[in-house]
Amino acid sequence: MNQRLSTLSILVPDYEAGIAFFVDQLGFDLLEDTDQGHKRWVKVAPKGAETAFLIAKASTPEQIAAIGNQGGGRVWLILETDDFARDYAAFTTNGITFEEQPRHEPYGTVAVFNDPFGNRWDLIEFA
C-alpha cells in the first residue's frame, strides 16, 4: 500500500485573502486556481513540498465561525525550513506577526507566528 497526505483544506474568508497570505507573504507557489462556477479550486504549497493547501472559502455559518480556529487555539501548522534566519527575516519583512522571539530548543530553532485569519503556526528549523 502506498499512501500520502496530498492536500489539506484551510478555511479563509475569501480566496484573494488566502492567495495574498500564502503566495505574497509566505512565498508559496500557486499551483492551481480553477473557477468551478460556484466555487474555486485554489491550491498552494511551499516550493518543493509534497503536501499542498486547498484554500477553502468559508460559506456556511459553521465554516465562518471556524476560520482561524481549525486547531482549537493551538499551533497546528508547522512550516519546516532549511534556513530559519532567512525565512524569519523574509516573513517579518512581508508583514508576518510573530508571537515571540526565536527560541533555540533541543529539537531546533522555532518561533510561533499568526496568519491573518487567526491560525497559529510554528516556523521551525529542526536541529
Rounded to a whole number of angstroms, the CA Rg of the chain reads: 15
| Of 57, 46, 53, the residue nearest 91 (C-alpha) | 46
Residue 49: predicted pLDDT: 95
| Of 117, 27, 30, the residue nearest 76 (C-alpha) | 117
What digits encode the pLDDT tens for the residues 71-104? 999 999 999 999 999 999 999 999 999 999 999 9
Give how many domains the chain has, as a whole number: 2
Residue 60: predicted pLDDT: 97
Q: What is the CATH number of the domain that holds 119?
A: 3.10.180.10
Domain that holds residue 122: 71-127
Residue 27: predicted pLDDT: 97
94 and 127 co-located in one domain: yes
What digits encode the pLDDT tens for the residues 27-64? 999 999 999 999 999 999 999 999 999 999 999 999 99
Residue 101: predicted pLDDT: 98
35 and 92 co-located in one domain: no
H-type alpha helices, 1-127: 15-19, 61-66, 84-93
16 and 62 co-located in one domain: yes
Q: Provide the mean pLDDT of the chain.
A: 97
Residue 113: predicted pLDDT: 98
Domain final position from 67, 84, 108: 67
94 and 119 co-located in one domain: yes
Q: How does strand 52-57 pair with strand 75-80?
A: unpaired
